[in-house]
Amino acid sequence: AVSVRSLSVIGSYLFVGKNGDATACSQTAGSALGCELMVFDISSSTNPVYVAGRDESGSAAGTGINNVYALISNGTTLYMGKDGDPTACSQVAGSATGCELMVFDISSSTSPTYVAGRDLSRDSGASTVGAIYSLAISGNTLYAGTYGLLCTYQLCSLTIFDILNPASPVDVTDL
pLDDT in tens, 47-99: 999 999 999 999 999 888 899 999 999 999 999 999 877 888 889 999 988 89
Would you call 48 helix, strand, or coil by DSSP? coil
DSSP symbols for 58-105: S-SS----PPEEEEEEETTEEEEEEB--SSPP-SSTTS-TT-SEEEEE
Is residue 39 scored above 50 in pLDDT?
A: yes
Query: What predicted TM-score, i.e. pTM, was given to this entire model?
Result: 0.91
Please state, as a whole number, how many other Cβ atoms lie within 10 Å of the Cβ of residue 44: 9
Would you call 154 helix, strand, or coil by DSSP? helix
Residues 108-165 have pLDDT tens digits of 999 999 999 998 875 555 556 678 999 999 999 999 998 765 555 445 678 899 999 9
Q: Contacts by 96-100 with C-beta closer than 8 Å and gap 24+?
A: 96/56, 96/57, 96/58, 97/56, 97/57, 97/64, 97/66, 98/126, 98/127, 100/130, 100/131, 100/132, 100/146, 100/148
